[in-house]
Amino acid sequence: MLGFVLRRIALTIPVLLGLTVLVFAIARLLPGDPVALAAGPNATPAEIEAYAREFGLDRPIPVQYWTYLTGLLSGDMGVSIFTRRPVAEDIAAYLPATLELVLAAMLLAVGLGLPAGLAAAVWRDRWPDTVSRVLALGAISMPRFFLGLLLQLGLAMALGWLPLGGRFPITEDPPPLVTGLLTLDALLAGDLRALGLALQHLLLPAVALSLSPLATIMRMMRASTLEVLSRDYVLTERALGLPEWQIIGKYVARNAVSATLTVIGLYFGWLLGGTVLVETVFDWPGLGLYATKSVVTQDFMPVIGVTLVIGTLFVAINLVVDILYGVVDPRVRVT
C-alpha cells in the first residue's frame, strides 16, 4: 500500500512541472506583450524597459523559466501592479474562503446526490425518477452565475431570509483565526452564534456552486445502482427472502457508491472552475473574486498565480482520489 501511495505521489511531479510550463507559456510566450502587461496598462516605454530589466524579462526564455521556477519554490509569484502586494500573500489570504466554499458545495453535491440517485434507481420510471431526470436536465444547462443571481433575487432580496453576499457581517467579530475556514473556526471556538452567521453566508453560494455536480452525481449514482441491482447476488438475496431495505441499504448502496466515488475527483475540478463565477456573484472573498477583479484591471500576475494554485489544487485532489480509490479497491494498487 505504501509503495502504491509513493508511486502515485511521484507521478504527480512531472504533472506539476507541466503545469508550471503551461502557466509560464501563457505568461511569456503568447502574442501580446507580456512585459507591457506585467508593467500595467499605463506604463511608458521607458518604464516598461526598466521593468523588463528589473525582472529579467530581457533574458533568454529558458533562463526566464528557470528563474520563474526557482522563484515559485521560494514562494514568489510576482507582484500585483495594482496594489504592489506580493501575489503569494494575497493568494494565501483568499485561499481558505475558496476551500470552504468548494468543500461545502461538494458536501451538498455528494450528500444529496447519492441518496437522490439511489432513490431514482430504486423507483425507476416512477415519480422520483422522473423528477430527478427533469431536475438534472435543468441543472446541467443552468449557468451558475444566473442561478446565483436568482437565489439572491428570491431568498436574499425579496424575502430577506439570507444575506446577499460576503462571508461574514462586517459589524460582527469573526471567530479567532485557526484554519481560515470560518465555519470550522467558529466550531473550534465553540461560538455557535458565529457558526450560524457563517453558515447563513455560506448557504446560497454553496447551493449555486453545487447544483450541476449534484445533478451529475445523482445520474451516475442512478446508473451504477441500476447496474448493481441487475447482478446475480441481488437476485440471490431476493430469492433468500432478505427484506428489500436490507438488500438496498446493505449490499446495493455500498457497491454503487464506490463506483460513483471514483469520478468525484473530476467534479472537484468543475467546482474549482465554477467557483470563479459564484464568488463573483456573491462577493465571496476567495481566489475567484481575486482573479476576476485582477482580470478586469488587467493585473496579470495575480491571474497567473491563481491559475497555478487552482491547477495545483486540482492535481492534489486527483491524487487524493486516486489513493482513496486504491484504498477502496485493492485491484487498483497493482497497476
Partner 1 sequence: MSAALEAGASPRRVAWRRAVYRFGQSRLSLVGLALSGLVLAMALFGGLLAPYPEHVAGGIATGARFAPPSLAHPFGTNELGQDVLSLVLAGARVSVLAGLAVVLLGALVGTALGAIAGYAGGWTDEILMRLADLKLTVPGLILAMAVAAALGPGLLNMVVAIALSWWPGFARLVRGEVLARREEPYIVAARAVGVGRVRILLRHLLPNVLTPVIVKVSLDVGFAILAVASLGFIGIGVKPPTPEWGSLLAIARSYMPDFWWMAIFPGLAIFVAVLGFNLLGDGLRDLLDPRTRR
Q: Tell me which residues touch partner 1 (CB under 8 A).
A: 15-16, 18-19, 21-23, 26-27, 30-32, 34, 37, 137-138, 140-146, 149-150, 152-153, 157-158, 269-270, 272-274, 276-277, 280-281, 291-292, 294-296, 298, 300, 303-304, 306-307, 310-311, 314-315, 318
Which residue number, 251 or 270, has a Cβ lying nearer to partner 1? 270
Q: How far is the CB of 94 from partner 1 (least distance, A)?
A: 14
Query: How many CA atoms are closer than 13 Å to the CA of 46, on its beta-carbon side?
Result: 0
Q: How far is the CB of 185 from partner 1 (least distance, A)?
A: 27
Which residue number, 18 or 111, has a Cβ lying nearer to partner 1? 18
Q: How far is the CB of 153 from partner 1 (least distance, A)?
A: 5
CB atoms within 10 A of CB 181: 21
Round to whole Å and give the CA distance between 204 and 210: 10
Q: How far is the CB of 167 from partner 1 (least distance, A)?
A: 18
Which residue number, 182 or 218, has a Cβ lying nearer to partner 1? 218
Which residue number, 31 or 241, has a Cβ lying nearer to partner 1? 31
Q: How far is the CB of 14 from partner 1 (least distance, A)?
A: 9
Which residue number, 119 or 313, has a Cβ lying nearer to partner 1? 313
